[in-house]
Amino acid sequence: MTSGLTLSIDAMGGDHAPDAILAGVDQFAKDNPHARYILHGDQVALDHLLADLPAAKAASEVRHTADIVPMDAKPSQAMRKKGTSMWNAIASVKAGEAAAVVSAGNTGALMAVAHLQLRTMEGLHRPAITASWPTPKGQCVVLDVGANVDSDPDQLVDFAIMGEAFAKALYGLERPKIGLLNVGSEDVKGHEDIREAMRLLRLYGATLNLDIHGFVEGNDISMGKTDVVVTDGFTGNIALKTAEGAARLVGAFLKEALTSSPLAMAGALLASSGLKKLRNRMDPSSSNGGVFLGLNGLVIKSHGGTDARGFANAMAVGARLASSSYMTQVADNLLRLSAARVAAQAQAQTSPAVEEA
Amino acid sequence: MTSGLTLSIDAMGGDHAPDAILAGVDQFAKDNPHARYILHGDQVALDHLLADLPAAKAASEVRHTADIVPMDAKPSQAMRKKGTSMWNAIASVKAGEAAAVVSAGNTGALMAVAHLQLRTMEGLHRPAITASWPTPKGQCVVLDVGANVDSDPDQLVDFAIMGEAFAKALYGLERPKIGLLNVGSEDVKGHEDIREAMRLLRLYGATLNLDIHGFVEGNDISMGKTDVVVTDGFTGNIALKTAEGAARLVGAFLKEALTSSPLAMAGALLASSGLKKLRNRMDPSSSNGGVFLGLNGLVIKSHGGTDARGFANAMAVGARLASSSYMTQVADNLLRLSAARVAAQAQAQTSPAVEEA
């Protein structure tokens, strides 16, 4: 699937850049011998690292820049500074040289710079950030997890459309089930905005042939009740981080429990291969790669603290989306959504509205 | 601490009522020989159960009613039906016969009926529901987790005051640290309402000698960064349920990991006492008992699916709050907050506001 694929890499973004980034490229390159990479960053530092990474070296071209976006940079600072490794990595996508950009840099800065260069897709209100969330069956996609601090009902409909196309492309689902995150599953629950969003989802979902499951609650996310969970960026960000914190707490309790006595420690030793499987499953590197949806170009955000494996996984997300019909599907659905919105408005204006009791 | 204490019990509320409820009363009664109970529910059914529960029987008085609030009742239905076990259990608190009511009935119905009878405390905008959240150090209190579907900045300040008094009373803390849940910890993060809430918290917090830590993120809850986490009811409810779902998923993964091979199973067997400790720690019964704060009376909501141990724990929460100065502290702080609000308004009207750049 990676034949003819070029990925643009922000080699200087991330807590362990450029070492972990280039090691990640090397790891990915070994598994995907036909892909190519444009590495943006300090030529001397990168060449030095590539000397020990033959797979990455063979498939990479280094584009030198000495400027970087610091991990604690404000979005406004990053936007004013052209020529950073982050800026240039995105520019490669804009220029059509690469199918996707992967960066482990500062999230806010990356969104700002990507938004500035790539712009929002036609017909879309705002971009969104996804999280791939582990479930018993596999994964579900939750969005928005932080691109926006609030979202109106129309934006939530946009997120549903992008999330659905994402789940098709990345998880290979034929007709992903879509849920809207709320405080209860009945249609009367929640505040006015969320109920209006559900009304719109059902209205436009019929036109766009979306599988709208209805409202889902917080615990339904990890249970995998739906393949797509739509929410505003404030709630989604808090839900994601809260789940990470809870999982980490259980992990800490587990560690304590398994070191609480010599017997428990012996047991843990015997069970170590099973426990290692659990660790891998909970490891953020396994599902690394939040994706910025809704821009005219694919932008993959790897965790800031990523290791090589995590970065390679983020690259795999980019490669899979790039080789799918994700972009055209979303563009297509946004066009149809625009038409449906215009039709709904026209109808509302010509026929007097029947208000609900 | 339970000498002279009387608890009012909705014996018919909950998925396993009245059996689990009365077994819970019995369990609590064994540990607290001086407390007394008013049991509201079906006399015949309760007398039958009490025959096998001597500790509960010796300290209880049954008040007969044949009417109950079904677990799937709408709040509006429950409010119209006087004389249910839930209604009467709350009425006992209103009449001053009992210091707190404990019910495992439907949350929405319980809040509606309690609100109708007990009314909101003077000076308070809206009541809130708390969750006691496990942390590495012990517990923190998160509120609101579902009484309201949205909350303005003034309400969030109210929640901080109630949560602080709650943490003092229930966890025995001298000066609980208060955090406001947001998508980032810097003061510039989040939407306008949340930043305004932080401004008010700092303003009134100084007057009320509150320890305002600042913004906290989702993962900070389980890490116990603050003792009180303030949030609106929509976000809080979703955060709580999302964390429960994530913890359950890790538990399912762990079980799978420990049954994945004969060696892992042998290890799990050896480590079983440690793993049992973990299970107890994660068991919702251990921290059972959400509390409705802000009403003129203590209302403890036990999980609907609670077992006897969970209900006994909910009773312990009620007993501890009833024997503390929680109610007077909150009333006191609300009075001082009202005064501070009036003073701040007066100042805003007399001195021209200096706008921040």
Instruction: Give the confidence band of B282 by pLDDT, cuts at 50, 70, 90.
Output: low
B317 has a pLDDT exceeding 90: yes
- Closest residue in B to A271 (Cα–Cα): B264
Query: Which of residues 57 through 86 in chain B touch A, CB cutoff 8 A?
Result: none
- Give the pairing type, strands B290-293 and B298-301: antiparallel
Asked if B270 and A272 come within 8 Å (Cβ–Cβ), the reply is no
The DSSP code sequence of B312-330 is HHHHHHHHHHHTTTHHHHH
Q: What distance in Å separates the CA atoms of residue A314 and residue A301, rounded to the nearest whole number?
A: 7
B111 touches chain A (CB under 8 A): no
B3 touches chain A (CB under 8 A): no
A110 has a pLDDT exceeding 70: yes
Contacts of B243 in chain A (CB under 8 A): 218, 242-243, 245-246
Distance from CA of B322 to the nearest CA of A (A): 30
Sequence length of chain B is 357
φ, ψ of residue B88 to 5 degrees: the values are -65, -35
Q: Which of A11-15, B80-84, B327-331 has the lowest mean pLDDT?
A: B327-331
CA angle centred on A81, ends A75 and A85, rounded to 5°: 90
Asked if B218 and A243 come within 8 Å (Cβ–Cβ), the reply is yes
Residue A266: strand, helix, or coil: helix
Instruction: Give the confidence band of B80 by pLDDT, cuts at 50, 70, 90.
Output: very high
A255 touches chain B (CB under 8 A): no
A142 has a pLDDT exceeding 80: yes
Instruction: Give the confidence band of A186 by pLDDT, cuts at 50, 70, 90.
Output: confident
For position A78, what pLDDT does the model report? 93
Which helix (H) or strand (E) segment holds residue A105: the answer is: none
Distance from CA of B145 to the nearest CA of A (A): 9
For position A356, what pLDDT does the model report? 44
For position A255, what pLDDT does the model report? 82
Distance from CA of A43 to the nearest CA of B (A): 34
CA angle centred on A214, ends A208 and A219, rounded to 5°: 130
Instruction: Give the confidence band of A85 by pLDDT, cuts at 50, 70, 90.
Output: very high
Q: Which of A25-39, A255-269, B113-127, B210-224 has the lowest mean pLDDT?
A: A255-269
Asked if B273 and A252 come within 8 Å (Cβ–Cβ), the reply is no
Q: What distance in Å separates the CA atoms of residue B179 and residue B202, rounded to the nearest whole number?
A: 11
Q: Are B298 and B318 in contact (CB under 8 A)?
A: yes
φ, ψ of residue A37 to 5 degrees: the values are -135, 140
For position B286, what pLDDT does the model report? 60
Asked if A267 and B267 come within 8 Å (Cβ–Cβ), the reply is yes
Q: Are A71 and A77 in contact (CB under 8 A)?
A: no
Give per-residue pLDDT as tens, A191-250: 999 999 999 999 999 989 999 999 999 999 999 999 999 999 999 999 999 998 888 888
Which of A183, A196, A260 to mutate to test binding with chain B, by most B CBs within 10 Å of its CB? A183
B138 touches chain A (CB under 8 A): no
Instruction: Give the confidence band of A161 by pLDDT, cuts at 50, 70, 90.
Output: very high
Partner residue facing B275 (CB), from A219, A245, A257: A257
Distance from CA of B101 to the nearest CA of A (A): 25
Partner residue facing A274 (CB), from B149, B257, B272: B257
B121 has a pLDDT exceeding 70: yes
Give per-residue pLDDT as tens, B198-207: 999 999 999 8
- Residues above pLDDT 90, as percent of chain B: 67
Q: What distance in Å separates the CA atoms of residue B71 and residue B10, rounded to the nearest whole number?
A: 13
Partner residue facing A190 (CB), from B149, B248, B256: B149
**Backbone CA torsion sign across B94, B97, B101, B105:** negative
Give per-residue pLDDT as tens, B171-209: 999 999 999 999 988 877 889 999 999 999 999 999 899
Q: Which of B93, B67, B26 is nearest to B309 (CA)?
A: B26
- The better pLDDT of the pair B271, A139 is held by A139
Which of A133, A181, A220, A238 to mutate to test binding with chain B, by most B CBs within 10 Å of its CB? A238
* Contacts with B80 (C-beta within 8 Å, 6 or more apart), sequence order: none
Partner residue facing A238 (CB), from B183, B249, B253: B183
Contacts of A246 in chain B (CB under 8 A): 222, 242-244, 246-247, 250
Q: What distance in Å separates the CA atoms of residue B89 and residue B184, rounded to the nearest whole number?
A: 42
Instruction: Give the confidence band of A145 by pLDDT, cuts at 50, 70, 90.
Output: very high
- The better pLDDT of the pair B353, A189 is held by A189
Asked if A135 and B249 come within 8 Å (Cβ–Cβ), the reply is yes
* Contacts with B242 (C-beta within 8 Å, 6 or more apart), sequence order: A218, A219, A221, A222, A239, A242, A243, A246
For position A355, what pLDDT does the model report? 47
The DSSP code sequence of A145-209 is SSS-S---HHHHHHHHHHHHHHHHHHH--SS-EEEEE-S-SSTT-S-HHHHHHHHHHHHHHHHHT
A293 has a pLDDT exceeding 70: yes
Distance from CA of A139 to the nearest CA of B (A): 12
Q: Where are the alpha helices (DSSP H) in chain A?
A: 19-31, 43-50, 54-59, 75-80, 85-94, 107-118, 153-171, 192-208, 218-223, 233-258, 262-270, 272-282, 308-322, 326-350
Averaged over B4-19, what is the pLDDT?
Answer: 96
φ, ψ of residue B255 to 5 degrees: the values are -60, -45
- The better pLDDT of the pair B123, A55 is held by A55
For position A287, what pLDDT does the model report? 61
For position A352, what pLDDT does the model report? 57
B167 has a pLDDT exceeding 90: yes
Residue B146: strand, helix, or coil: coil
- The better pLDDT of the pair B86, A247 is held by B86
For position A351, what pLDDT does the model report? 66
Pull the structure tokens for residue A284: 């953020």
Q: What distance in Å separates the CA atoms of residue B228 and residue B166, rounded to the nearest whole number?
A: 9
> Of A42-51, A274-283, B128-137, B250-259, which has the strongest mean pLDDT?
A42-51
Q: Are A20 and A53 in contact (CB under 8 A)?
A: no
Q: Which of B170-184, B229-243, B332-346 has the lowest mean pLDDT?
A: B332-346
A357 has a pLDDT exceeding 50: no
Averaged over B29-43, what is the pLDDT?
Answer: 96
- CB burial of residue A23 (10 Å; 0-12, 13-18, 19+): buried
CA distance readout (Å), A342 to A148, A153, B20, B62, B71: 25, 16, 56, 64, 43
Residue B41: strand, helix, or coil: strand
- Residues above pLDDT 70, as percent of chain B: 94
Q: CB contacts < 8 Å between A and B, how many?
A: 214
- Give the pairing type, strands A298-301 and A290-293: antiparallel
For position B355, what pLDDT does the model report? 47
Could you count the other beta carbons within 10 Å of the beta carbon of residue A4?
Answer: 10
Averaged over B106-119, what is the pLDDT?
Answer: 95
What is the overall mean pLDDT for chain A? 90
Could you count the other beta carbons within 10 Å of the beta carbon of residue A185?
Answer: 14
Q: Are A251 and B234 in contact (CB under 8 A)?
A: no
What is the overall mean pLDDT for chain B? 90
Q: Are B107 and B129 in contact (CB under 8 A)?
A: yes
A149 touches chain B (CB under 8 A): yes
The DSSP code sequence of A114-141 is HHHHH-BPTT-S--EEEEEEE-SSSEEE
Q: Which of A62-71, A137-146, B40-49, B282-291 has the lowest mean pLDDT?
A: B282-291
Could you count the other beta carbons within 10 Å of the beta carbon of residue B72?
Answer: 9
For position B123, what pLDDT does the model report? 87
Instruction: Give the confidence band of A272 by pLDDT, cuts at 50, 70, 90.
Output: confident
- CB burial of residue A137 (10 Å; 0-12, 13-18, 19+): exposed
Q: Are A5 and A11 in contact (CB under 8 A)?
A: no
Give per-residue pLDDT as tens, B211-230: 999 999 999 999 999 999 99
Q: Which of A69, A68, A66, A47 is nearest to A57 (CA)?
A: A47
B249 touches chain A (CB under 8 A): yes
For position A82, what pLDDT does the model report? 94
Please report how the helices B272-282 and A233-258 are oriented relative to each other, as an axis angle in degrees rounded to 10.
150
Burial of B202-232, coded b for 16+ CB within 10 Å and e otherwise, reads: eebbeebebbbbbbbbbbbbbbbbbbbbbbb
Contacts of B257 in chain A (CB under 8 A): 271, 274-275, 277-278
Q: Please, which residues bridge with residue B230 across strands?
A: B143, B180
A350 has a pLDDT exceeding 70: yes
Q: Which of A83-92, A256-265, B20-29, B164-173 has the lowest mean pLDDT?
A: A256-265
Averaged over B28-48, what is the pLDDT?
Answer: 96
Contacts of B219 in chain A (CB under 8 A): 241-242, 244-245, 248
ipTM of predicted assembly, 2 dp: 0.87
B45 has a pLDDT exceeding 50: yes
Averaged over B313-317, what is the pLDDT?
Answer: 94
Asked if A246 and B248 come within 8 Å (Cβ–Cβ), the reply is no
Pull the structure tokens for residue A18: 């450029």
Distance of CA B98 to the CA centre of its chain: 18
**Backbone CA torsion sign across A176, A197, A161, A110:** negative
- The better pLDDT of the pair B139, A270 is held by B139
Helix/strand/coil percent split, chain B, to 5: 50, 15, 30
Query: Which of residues 198 through 227 in chain B touch A, CB cutoff 8 A?
Result: 217-223
Domains of chain A (ranges; CATH) run 1-119+295-324 (3.40.718.10), 130-288+325-334 (3.40.718.10)
**Backbone CA torsion sign across B334, B338, B339, B344:** positive
Averaged over A319-342, what is the pLDDT?
Answer: 91
B357 has a pLDDT exceeding 50: no
Contacts of B258 in chain A (CB under 8 A): 271, 274-275
